[in-house]
Amino acid sequence: ASSNWLYQSWSNVYWDMNFRINMGGSGTYFQGASGVTVGGDLHANTIDSVTVSGDAYYQSINNATAANYYPGSTDPSQTDFPISNAQITQWKDEALNGGVHTGNYTACGTSIGPLKIEGDLILWNNCDVTVTGTLYVDGIIDIRSGSSLVLDSSFGGNGGVVVSSEHIRLETSAAVTGSGNGDSYMLLISEGVGPSPTREAIEIRTGDVNIDDVILFAPNGTVKIFQGGATLLELAGKKIEIADNVGLVYEQGLANATFAAGGDSAWEMRDGTWLKF
């Protein structure tokens, strides 16, 4: 993998994946399963159950093969996440400036944002909501069977941001999509700690969800995709667990992303910093 993934180009990949990864800081490890292949070098304190087409750098290795082996290698250093806490706070403030909804939000067929929801955002079965600006949900986001959270067409080629202070969960046939423009996508951020006995920070419960143009980010907890079949643009988290047959398509990288706030303003990465313009 690249030493600095934020500023590199990525190729589309559709691998048969089933692995758990915890990279950077203490206790770094890569735990795979039967049929898991890494198409390049792999750096981790512990490497388990994977075929590495490149070189393996590690302290401990089990049930793994590689082109070359480098035991006793230095653990990967901890790197900063692509989105800072300060940037998340700015997006939350942006949502707050659009108004506050007190209590759980469960209305269907509506358009919302920018908005802060002081409660949960729950889309029951076959419930569709259009996002017209940045959302901050001070609670959980639960998108149930057949429901959708879609960016308004006015976003054009820009992305949108939805932040949850707790837990995000997508169930059977749920959809989270961009504006319909090929360059538009949704950034879902969970500030939840997780895992807890009953939930992760972000859970994709089934493989038939529509999240092809979604970026998942959980800086404090686990992103877990329970079943194969799903494809998404990018994900980052304190810990990541992915089932088999999940496709990761690193199409452009957050460094090239532009996120609209709703209205005339937007955010863009410039010289390593998110700037509003």
What distance in Å separates the CA atoms of residue 106 and residue 157, rounded to the nearest whole number? 28
Cβ–Cβ < 8 Å for 170, 209? yes
Confidence of residue 175 (pLDDT cuts 50, 70, 90): very high
Q: If pLDDT is split at 50, 70 and 90, which confidence band does 212 have?
A: confident
Say what the pLDDT of residue 274 is. Answer: 37
Q: How many CA atoms lie within 13 A of 39 on its CB side?
A: 8
End-to-end CA distance of the chain: 32
Predicted confidence (pLDDT) at residue 56 exceeds the cutoff of 60: yes
149 pLDDT exceeds 90? yes
Residue 33 CB burial class (10 angstroms; 0-12, 13-18, ≥19): middle
Q: Lowest mean pLDDT: which of 28-32, 98-102, 136-140, 167-171?
A: 28-32
Helix (H) or strand (E) holding 234: strand 234-242
Mean pLDDT of 155-184: 91
pLDDT, tens digit (0-9, with 9 covering 90-100), for 77-110: 777 787 889 989 999 999 999 999 999 999 999 9
pLDDT score, position 31 = 78
Domain boundaries, the chain: 79-276
Of 19-33, 99-113, 117-131, least confident by mean pLDDT is 19-33
Residue 269: pLDDT over 50: no
CA distances from 127 to 73, 104, 118 (A): 51, 15, 20
What's the pLDDT score for residue 267? 44
User: What pLDDT is recorded for position 59?
Assistant: 93
Average pLDDT, the chain: 79
Closest listed residue to residue 187, CA positions, set 110, 270, 82, 112: 82
Q: Is the pLDDT of residue 13 over 70?
A: no
State the average pLDDT over residues 128-132: 97
Rounded average pLDDT over 43-70: 92
pLDDT at 9 over 50: no
φ/ψ bin of 146: left (φ > 0), alpha (ψ from -120 to 50), beta (otherwise) = left
- What value does the mean pLDDT take over residues 31-60? 85
pLDDT digits (tens, 9 = 90+) for 215-260: 889 999 988 887 766 677 777 888 888 766 666 555 545 445 555 5
